[in-house]
Structure 1
């Protein structure tokens, strides 16, 4: 004799409770997507869309490229405070250095900028920034900072030091010295 299946209808209150539980799970999942990582990704995407792309020569690490890109964006925005936040040491020199850099390179950072990365980038990398529109050249150092995050060395509170062209850097990106020029 075949088995007969019988369907029972759930009470209306149980259906509502199930629907509420499902809604809570969905809302919790959506809120989890609004974490700090999502905020960082959204901020990066907004910055990327709002700025001229950085041209890169050499072999940056992920961390050195990220902090140099952010430094160029902050220069272009004229945001000395946010630039100082990228400093490796949060001492007395970071804020005046950031103001000096913005004053000297802020307008040029709005246009084409090439970053020439020297050496290997496991914990420190020398980077030469070439500002195409103005012809300015700036040497900076990206390194792992005090909190094990990549940062920029900012120790040029004297405006003449902050805007000085490096004497050793080639006149154009990819010249002698960068690892990519040797290949």
Structure 2
């Protein structure tokens, strides 16, 4: 076998192997999630999130930390006020989201879950709602177009994370 033939076979094997490996790689969304995960601070979690609510909240905190209101608005399940709400949230919580954030998940999360975000550096507290949209994909309710509404501290939430439970079973008095 000549040197040229060997090199040709090696090149063809490399191309075939590359094609096989391409078929085994993650899809774009999975790769984006993995890249995001390694590029951001880990989210501290309290309570019992569903897989969908946890992923959605994690993405929301990442978008806040990135200052990316458009990507945050893209997580909306009802986009009526999503753009204005996302801009409000980024302005109010974006800097704090770059530091430690704890997400306290309330109630069960089969189709909807209330989550309270605790921003350690700023001491801010934000209630959000993750829920399934019409297409059965998880997203956020982004319905706070007024800045005062978007930054209002929930009156029922404990001042510190870790008091998860149903709002209807006494959590509102667990301050």
Q: Mind listing any 5+ residue stretches in structure 2 that lack a counterpart?
A: 1-5
1-side partners of 2:87 and 2:109: how far apart?
Answer: 27
Matched, 1:31 2:22: yes
- Corresponding residue for 1:115? 103
CA 26–176 in structure 1, closer or farther in 2 if over 3 Å, else same:
closer
Matched, 1:164 2:134: no
Matched, 1:42 2:26: no
1-side partners of 2:33 and 2:87: how far apart?
Answer: 23
1-side partners of 2:14 and 2:165: how far apart?
Answer: 59
1-side partners of 2:162 and 2:104: how far apart?
Answer: 7
The count of corresponding residues between Structure 1 and Structure 2 is 167
- Corresponding residue for 1:62? 51
Provide the alpha-carbon RMSD of the alignment. Answer: 2.7
- Corresponding residue for 1:147? 135
Runs of 4 or more above 4 Å deviation: 18-25
Rg larger in structure: 1
120-129 or 18-27, larger mean C-alpha shift: 18-27
Retained in 2: the 8 A contact 1:116–1:178? no
- Corresponding residue for 1:85? 74
2-side partners of 1:20 and 1:111: how far apart?
Answer: 48
Corresponding residue to 1:52 among 38, 41, 46: 41
